[in-house]
Amino acid sequence: MHIPNVHEMILDELAELKMMILELKDAQLDKNGVDTEKYLTVEKTAEFLNCSIDFIYKLKNRIPHSKINAKLYFKIGDLNNYLDSGRIVPRKM
């Protein structure tokens, strides 16, 4: 019967952690930890913006998107930029 070497187990765990750290480092996360480079389907975009799918199709000419096989995909970062473009900052009284 072979008992796993504790040192090998630790090295394997460290290698796995290193890969996870490198993946996180490569992701472009916003201040809330959301990957802004991730693409969303039309359905997920509607959820993200809290609106209907029909409204997303009406917005498609105002928000950058990708089209693959007649399906639209929106990048989270572009959606955030779209929301920020309509941001109104109240005046100080």
Print pLDDT tens along the chain (93 aa).
Answer: 566 688 888 888 888 888 877 776 666 666 666 677 789 999 999 999 999 999 999 988 999 999 999 899 999 989 999 999 988 888 887
Residue 43 belongs to a domain: yes
Query: Residue 43: its pLDDT value, please?
Result: 96
Query: Residue 89: its pLDDT value, please?
Result: 84
- Say if pTM beats, i.e. exceeds, 0.75: no
Q: What is the CATH number of the domain that holds 66?
A: 1.10.10
Distance CA 1, CA 21 (A): 34
Contact 35, 78 (CB under 8 A): no
Distance CA 52, CA 47 (A): 8
Residues of the domain holding 77: 28-85
Give, as one character, the DSSP assignment of residue 33: S
Other residues' Cβ atoms within 10 Å of the Cβ of residue 45: 25
Residue 4 belongs to a domain: no
Residue 19 belongs to a domain: no
Residue 16 belongs to a domain: no
